[in-house]
Amino acid sequence: MTITNIRIGIYLCDCDGKVSKNVDLSKVKTAIQSQAEFEYIREADVVCGTAEQEKVAAEIDKYSLNRLLIVGCNDPFITRKFVQLAEEKGINRYSVEFLDLSAVNSVEAAVSAINSRLGKLHLREQIGYEELAVTPDVLVIGSGSEAAAVAKAISKNQPVVRIDHETKKVVGVDGFPGNFTVRLLENGKTSKHSFGAIVLALGAQPQYDAAKYGGVNLDERTLSLSQFINADKNYAGKKISFVLGKADADSLLSFAAVLKSSLDLKGKGASEVDVIYDDMKVCADGLEQEYELARKKGVNFLKYDGEFQINSASDGATFQYREPFLPIEATRVAADYLVLAEDFVPVAATQELAEILDIRTGPGGWFQKDNVHFLPIKSNRAYILFVGSCHGPIHGTDLYNEIEAVVAEVSAFAKGKAQVPSLQPRVEAKKCAVCLTCYRCCPHHAIEIVHGDEYDNMYNSAARMNPLACQRCGICAGECPGKAIQLPLYSDQEVLFEVKQPAKIVAYACENSGFLASEFAKTLDPQLQKALQIVEVPCSGKIDVIYLLKALENGADGVMLLVCHKENCKYVWGNNRAEQRKERAQALLNQVGLGDRIEFVHVAANQGNQFNAAVKEMAEKIRQSGTNPGKVVK
Amino acid sequence: MIVAEGKPVEKILEMVAPFKKVLIAGCRGCVTVCLTGGEKEVGILASQIRMARSKDGNPIEILEQTEERQCDAEYNAKFLENVEQVDAIVSLACGIGIQYLGEKYPATPIFPGVNTLMLGANIDVGKWEERCMACGDCVLDKTGGICPITRCSKSLLNGPCGGSQYGKCEVSTPAKEDIPCGWQLIYDRLSALGQLDKMKEIIPSKNWLRAKGPRTYVREDLTLDRS
């Protein structure tokens, strides 16, 4: 949907003198007035002030403005305020653009930046909102206490079905968030059910590893911690010694379980309770208090260091070790029962469900890749969520926080409908060859192939992106061999418009890393920015080969791709796709002798200095290989 | 699907060297699906050639157009306006499309922008495997649904040669990925189907005339009398 009657209002804000210090705003205004298409323009001192806001509101009405360009700063506080104002006046947030001029120091540069942004505003399609019917029901998978807790919490808002994935198993999932069709297998029969969201709360599995205890096998007197807890025997009058620290060194689950069991044993009349540990871990809510309480109740805490020896007999077991603080060769603790902490490993269903749901596992086989961009509860698929120890053992407050986050997330479907901005990519059916490339490359399972007379191609079919599943990375658009896919706000037209008259160096920057680093870098070395043009993309996976070539064809001397670190793409593999495309584009340049002009840089949001170093390196590279001879003079 | 690969650009540059204005014609059929000749690749090749020619001080103007299929005259008619403006055409369609578009515009030289490779399946993004050689006399019924003409390097009809080892074909080279022995595949499939006795059936020599071109195919029941 394109608005034919685009009426843009431009506000040139001095930001309390910050802009006019470098650039004469009235000259900028005159220049814009003489060449650009817009409805209204004026200067302001502090356009975010209350009085100014009222004035802007009145002007929106007076001049029937439907798009705004705020030139000045892009402080998040100000942008939020403006977006709110715009939406109150019926202007969609996607029709408001902000341009930061604080680092610009010439009228020409300011005018060129404004024109570029104005051009984009003209090209931008109007973004609407879609209201989708969704199923409020949530499927919780898991049999343990974590699954029970999250199911109970969700059930306060909406219906929950909990399955254990043993007697009732998930064997397939189709569809999209809000309307997943889950095939369940029970007693040899499969049935289909509709769920809005899926929550995985499989927990973790304790596993005794004899190697960690010098090859000691479990027997009647030497038990694993889970054997001890599950047996739930009466130990009145007995002496129990727990050994911590050899296994499960990375989590607090064993420490919490041992403290709780020690207190229970004391309460139920055990004669003596020892906790033998190397490092006591109590860094979670409540554990420190339990530790203090256990000490008060007379639990013995004994520290060991290094080597130890366990001997088990029919009437008890001993633990012989070196006490680190006393000048004694060896200390021997004899107990009726010796209880050894175990490691935690993913339950068997973890891998199976990862395959069925096409969600990822990371180190140790736990759910989710190690990736700084992923929130703890999120998988690579929208509304398929993790809670608890199935993505690595967690405990206490961490668990409750996750439950709360999951409840909030799935509550979006509680009323049976969901409103979403229509920001998913558009497919021009005429150009869609239904080749499945986008479908295969989407890391979020957000794409389906739909059929019908309305799809104007020889297949009467086209790819379609689901607005709830799509995470708007634009990888699909970057892959499409037919150029049938356009991502709103970042259409090829909009992106290529920015590089029509490019700077010496064009840097396509991922908004999750490179772009933020560039903002930081500006403050560190403003001089360096002169020859540099940043083109923001939602993910480096959106950077098409043609974007790289067009920047050079239009006259840039070098192109950079500023992407997230390896294994740290918010959209799973966007940065890998970008690297493959960079390799291809560079090969295309080499084939025609244009030299080494493309730089691929992994950078994190906080690496402003690395960013500048990379820009300097690029500038040096260009200096050596000379001006781009491939520039096409129009 | 027909699978093609892009031709080395130096070859294409040689072809268009005498010309100042060229149309690059893409196809939305097989070559879009195999990521070689759709609108995207048309744009990439055009940009690459424009830069190469600028560098050599011999600028070229390039028009870009992609239509449904270059193996149908009606779609090829859509190129008319652009063809009229240019000195030559580079087609990114398969060999069929290149020739057929050329037939439509006999006065304009046409050049291949791709090498047409095979009839293959798209195994995954960026991977294709040959499955059919269009021999004109299908024997898949006898071979468990696996084509010995295509999958056996020697197109043998009655079991493997002596070069089948550990399921691999002797033609496999370190430079290429290992080629599975076609007859091993057939044996495994027939075995899974419980039809190993089919291996005993002698498939007679093939009539290779049906595989030799130029072939035509006419269905009298469908041909249209346009008189």
| Domain co-membership, A240 together with A310 | yes
- Of A126, A153, A185, the residue that ends a domain is A126
Side-chain half-sphere exposure of A386, counting CA atoms within 13 A? 30
Confidence of residue B173 (pLDDT cuts 50, 70, 90): low
Do the domain assignments include residue A181?
Answer: yes
Least confident residue range of A292-301, A326-335, A415-424, B37-46: A326-335
Give the model confidence (pLDDT) of A218-245 as tens digits: 999 999 999 999 988 899 999 999 999 8
Residues of B in contact with A553 (CB under 8 A): 47, 50-51
Whether residue A552 and residue B40 make contact (CB cut-off 8 A), yes or no, is no
Give the model confidence (pLDDT) of A136-153 as tens digits: 999 999 999 999 999 999
Whether residue A481 and residue B39 make contact (CB cut-off 8 A), yes or no, is yes
Token couple for B29? 């059929």
> How far does the CA of residue B132 sit from the closest CA of chain A (Å)?
19
| Domain co-membership, A291 together with A402 | no
Whether residue A552 and residue B38 make contact (CB cut-off 8 A), yes or no, is no
Is the predicted pLDDT of residue B174 greater than 70, yes or no?
no
Is the predicted pLDDT of residue A105 greater than 90, yes or no?
no
Least confident residue range of A80-84, A271-275, A484-488, B115-119: A80-84
Least confident residue range of A202-206, A281-285, B195-199, B201-205: A281-285
Mark residue A462 as left, alpha or beta (left: phi above 0; alpha: psi -120 to 50; beta: remaining).
beta
| Domain co-membership, A2 together with A61 | yes
Res A103: pLDDT: 74
| Domain co-membership, A398 together with A468 | no
Regarding beta strands B114-124 and B127-132, do their DSSP bridges make them parallel or antiparallel, or are they unpaired? Answer: antiparallel
Domain CATH for A191: 3.50.50.60
Domains (range + CATH), chain B? 2-118 (3.40.50.2300), 135-211 (no CATH)
Q: Which residue in B has a C-alpha nearest to residue A588's C-alpha?
A: B48
Whether residue B69 and residue A458 make contact (CB cut-off 8 A), yes or no, is yes
Task: Find the domain containing A437 and state its range.
Answer: 423-486
Q: Choose among A457, A588, A633: nearest Cβ to B48.
A: A588
- DSSP letters along A198-234, please? EEE---EEEE--GGGGTTPPP-SSEEEHHHHHHH---
Give the model confidence (pLDDT) of B74-96 as tens digits: 999 999 999 999 999 999 999 99
Which positions ≥6 away from B200 have C-beta within 8 Å? Answer: none
**What average pLDDT does the structure give for chain A?**
92
Which positions ≥6 away from B77 have C-beta within 8 Å? Answer: B104
- Of A74, A92, A126, the residue that ends a domain is A126
Whether residue B54 and residue A633 make contact (CB cut-off 8 A), yes or no, is yes
| Domain co-membership, A189 together with A287 | no
Res B63: pLDDT: 98
Whether residue A457 and residue B51 make contact (CB cut-off 8 A), yes or no, is no
Q: Is the peptide bond before A502 cis (omega within 30 degrees of 0)?
A: no
Mean pLDDT of A584-607: 96
Q: Which residue in A has a C-alpha nearest to residue B1's C-alpha?
A: A435
Q: Which residue in B has a C-alpha nearest to residue A580's C-alpha?
A: B126
| Domain co-membership, A17 together with A83 | yes
Is the predicted pLDDT of residue A593 greater than 60, yes or no?
yes
| Domain co-membership, A337 together with A360 | no
Mean pLDDT of A122-142: 92
Percent of chain B with pLDDT over 90: 89
- Of A102, A126, A150, the residue that ends a domain is A126
Is the predicted pLDDT of residue A369 greater than 70, yes or no?
yes
Res A1: pLDDT: 40
Is the predicted pLDDT of residue A79 greater than 90, yes or no?
no
Mean pLDDT of A508-525: 93
| Domain co-membership, A538 together with A598 | yes
Which positions ≥6 away from A622 have C-beta within 8 Å? Answer: A504, A505, A557, A558, A597, A628
Res A523: pLDDT: 85
Q: Choose among A435, A457, A545: nearest Cβ to B44.
A: A545
Is the predicted pLDDT of residue A2 greater than 70, yes or no?
no
CA A297, CA A234: separation in Å to the nearest integer? 19
Which positions ≥6 away from A598 have C-beta within 8 Å? Answer: A548, A558, A559, A560, A561, A582, A585, A586, A589
Which of B14, B114, B125 has the most A C-beta neighbours within 10 Å, making it the best mutation to test the interface with A?
B125
Which of B9, B51, B71 has the most A C-beta neighbours within 10 Å, making it the best mutation to test the interface with A?
B51
Whether residue A441 and residue B50 make contact (CB cut-off 8 A), yes or no, is no
Least confident residue range of A441-455, A461-475, A515-529, A613-627: A515-529
| Domain co-membership, A384 together with A332 | no
Taking CA atoms, A345 is separated from A61, A207, A251, A367, A392, in Å, by 62, 7, 11, 11, 8
Which residues from B are below 8 Å from A when comparing CB atoms?
8-10, 13, 28-29, 32-33, 35-36, 38-41, 43-44, 47-52, 54-55, 59, 66, 68-69, 122, 124-125
| Domain co-membership, A122 together with A144 | no
ipTM value for the complex = 0.91
Res B175: pLDDT: 62
| Domain co-membership, A119 together with A145 | no
Mean pLDDT of A452-471: 95
Give the model confidence (pLDDT) of A548-568 as tens digits: 999 999 999 999 999 999 999
What is the DSSP code (8-state) at residue A249? T
Residue A614: enclosing H or E segment and its boundaries?
helix A608-625
Do the domain assignments include residue A457?
Answer: yes
| Domain co-membership, A3 together with A89 | yes
Domain CATH for A53: 3.40.50.2300
Sign for the CA dihedral angle at B143, B148, B152, B157 comes to positive
Do the domain assignments include residue A234?
Answer: yes
Give start and end residues of each alpha helix (H) in B36-174: 39-55, 73-77, 80-85, 95-104, 148-151
Do the domain assignments include residue A434?
Answer: yes
Hey, is B163 helix, strand or coil? coil
Domain CATH for A452: 3.30.70.20
CA A221, CA A530: separation in Å to the nearest integer? 75
Q: Which of residues 330-369 of A touch B (CB under 8 A)?
A: none
Taking CA atoms, B49 is separated from A81, B17, B52, in Å, by 48, 10, 5
> How far does the CA of residue B204 sit from the closest CA of chain A (Å)?
38
Q: Which residue in A has a C-alpha nearest to residue B58's C-alpha?
A: A632
Write phi, then psi, for A25 (nearest 5 degrees): -65, -30
Res A620: pLDDT: 93
> How far does the CA of residue A541 sit from the closest CA of chain B (Å)?
15
Mean pLDDT of B122-127: 94
Confidence of residue A526 (pLDDT cuts 50, 70, 90): confident
Whether residue A433 and residue B41 make contact (CB cut-off 8 A), yes or no, is no
| Overall number of domains in chain A | 5
Mean pLDDT of A493-506: 94
Is the predicted pLDDT of residue A267 greater than 70, yes or no?
yes
User: Per 3-state DSSP, what percentage of chain B is helix, strand, and coil (rounded to 5)?
Assistant: 35, 20, 45
Res A611: pLDDT: 95
The residue among A37 and B106 whose pLDDT is bigger is: B106
Percent of chain A with pLDDT over 90: 70
CA B65, CA A585: separation in Å to the nearest integer? 21
